């Protein structure tokens, strides 16, 4: 094994409350031959050692004064300020080539501050957040980014044999990642994205095969909220050059109070970049909730089906479909590039076909009617007399996309 050039791992923590633990991680990283750059985000007591980037500088980077901030004793302002400052400095360090990887350790607030900064870094830059809340809802920390949530198992207040073991492994992970030679893949093929849920997967897989046969590199995104969000971001970054957005159920999530949302900008990035879009109504027949209890009260009398105890799906009705069609039309009317909406008239998902629980031609028809009324030239609407998962629909959709 050859000696590698040392990399810089930015280490974020509150040196007033977790100074010993940050120091421990720093020493472990340095033992493995890499450099650290410590950013202090504490606003309570005194830092236990002097970091490369002081909390004063973090506050300054957010246009605030640390002494004033500490005197206010307002936790939420302090968190917001240190979050903004850390994010600013981390972006700066990265752009100056002084950040090869980033690691944090903290409780809820410390992790919120550090991961906000991590989310601004490109995919592939190693990001590790050690915290007690890795097992649970991680989306507020990760968003759609590649942040590794490393559980500390016990609280990070003083080192003990368990959290020390976790820190050892977390350091191992980030060191292993900075020592990875990421193969620069051949960038010659254009990238097309395809959206899917389990209930539209047959359509997506066929699409993928056909697009690959046409020379595309295909990325499939699961439209459970995070997936759609990740796709929108990759479109905005210019990674994706054509979209077969067959499964747009995240519009329903947004309209009907589901937590599986991709954000209000879903279905907009492609239009803004002017890349070709083929859009379908996959999964608009339903909206998914995180179990029965997550179904909003006004919908408890609707047709519900428990896919699993943690996943309840609801049949969307005529009104919902008209609303979703309106939103879709409005978004696509603003697109700068070519847009075709391809609609399978025999059902929008595996649930929505003759003989299945969510088969409801009237609701589907409401979507068709509204979308046709509301789209403007040059957006095209094409009806295909098939089910979304049928070969015939996919063939036609791919053909329309390639045109």
- To a second copy, the closest distance from the beta carbon of 148 in angstroms equals 6
Question: H or E segment at 180?
Answer: none
CA distances from 80 to 127, 172, 331 (A): 21, 31, 32
The smaller minimum CB distance to a second copy, of residues 201 and 345, is found at 201
The Cα angle at residue 159 between residues 157 and 161, in degrees rounded to 5: 130
The smaller minimum CB distance to a second copy, of residues 217 and 265, is found at 217
Residue 166 has which token pair? 């976790």
Separation CA 104–CA 100 (nearest Å)? 14
- To a second copy, the closest distance from the beta carbon of 9 in angstroms equals 12
Instruction: Tokens 């649970």: give the residue.
Output: 136
The smaller minimum CB distance to a second copy, of residues 205 and 365, is found at 205
CB neighbourhood size of 103 (10 A):
30
The smaller minimum CB distance to a second copy, of residues 158 and 215, is found at 158
Q: CB–CB of 62/81 below 8 Å?
A: yes
The smaller minimum CB distance to a second copy, of residues 26 and 346, is found at 26
- To a second copy, the closest distance from the beta carbon of 197 in angstroms equals 11
State the DSSP string of 187-237.
--SPEEEEEE-GGGHHHHHHHHHHHHHTT-EEEEEE-SSHHHHHHHHHHHT
The smaller minimum CB distance to a second copy, of residues 9 and 366, is found at 9
- To a second copy, the closest distance from the beta carbon of 364 in angstroms equals 26
- To a second copy, the closest distance from the beta carbon of 357 in angstroms equals 17
- To a second copy, the closest distance from the beta carbon of 218 in angstroms equals 6
Residue 267, phi-psi category: left (phi > 0), alpha (psi -120 to 50), beta (remainder): left
- To a second copy, the closest distance from the beta carbon of 215 in angstroms equals 14
The smaller minimum CB distance to a second copy, of residues 151 and 326, is found at 151
Residue 328 has which token pair? 């879709």
State the DSSP string of 253-283.
HHHTT-S----TTTT-HHHHHT--EEEEEET
CB neighbourhood size of 20 (10 A):
15
The Cα angle at residue 54 between residues 48 and 55, in degrees rounded to 5: 90
The smaller minimum CB distance to a second copy, of residues 169 and 214, is found at 169
Query: How much is the CA Rg of the chain, to the nearest whole Å?
Result: 24
- To a second copy, the closest distance from the beta carbon of 114 in angstroms equals 16
């Amino acid at each position: 094994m050859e000696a590698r050039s040392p990399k810089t791992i930015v280490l974020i923590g509150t040196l007033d409350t977790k100074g010993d633990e940050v120091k421990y991680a720093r020493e472990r990283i340095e033992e493995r031959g890499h450099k650290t750059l410590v950013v202090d985000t504490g606003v309570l007591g005194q830092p236990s050692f002097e970091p490369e980037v002081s909390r004063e500088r973090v506050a300054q980077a957010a246009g605030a004064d640390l002494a004033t901030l500490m005197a206010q004793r307002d936790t939420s302002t302090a968190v917001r300020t240190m979050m903004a400052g850390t994010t600013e400095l981390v972006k700066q360090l990265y752009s100056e080539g002084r950040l090869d990887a980033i690691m944090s350790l903290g409780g809820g607030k410390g992790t919120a501050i550090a991961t906000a900064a991590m989310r601004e870094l490109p995919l592939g830059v190693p990001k590790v957040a050690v915290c007690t809340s890795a097992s649970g809802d991680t989306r507020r920390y990760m968003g759609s980014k590649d942040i590794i949530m490393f559980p500390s198992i016990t609280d990070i207040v003083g080192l003990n044999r368990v959290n020390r073991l976790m820190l050892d492994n977390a350091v191992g992970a980030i060191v292993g990642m900075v020592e990875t030679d990421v193969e620069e893949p051949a960038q010659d093929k254009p990238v097309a994205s395809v959206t899917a849920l389990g209930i539209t997967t047959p359509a997506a897989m066929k699409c993928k095969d056909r697009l690959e046969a046409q020379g595309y590199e295909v990325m499939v995104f699961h439209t459970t909220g995070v997936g759609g969000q990740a796709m929108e971001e990759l479109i905005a970054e210019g990674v994706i050059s054509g979209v077969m957005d067959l499964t747009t159920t995240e519009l329903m999530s947004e309209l009907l109070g589901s937590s599986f949302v991709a954000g209000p900008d879903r279905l907009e990035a492609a239009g803004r970049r002017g890349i070709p879009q083929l859009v379908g109504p996959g999964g608009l027949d339903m909206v998914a909730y995180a179990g029965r209890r997550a179904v909003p009260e006004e919908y408890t009398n609707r047709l519900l089906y428990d896919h699993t105890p943690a996943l309840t799906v609801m049949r969307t009705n005529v009104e919902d479909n008209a609303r979703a069609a309106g939103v879709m039309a409005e978004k696509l009317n603003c697109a700068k590039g070519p847009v075709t909406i391809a609609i399978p008239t025999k059902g929008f998902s595996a649930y929505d076909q003759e003989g299945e629980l969510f088969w409801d031609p009237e609701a589907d028809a409401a979507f068709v009617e509204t979308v046709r009324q509301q789209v403007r030239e040059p957006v095209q609407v094409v009806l295909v007399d098939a089910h979304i998962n049928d070969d015939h629909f996919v063939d036609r959709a791919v053909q329309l996309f390639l045109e």
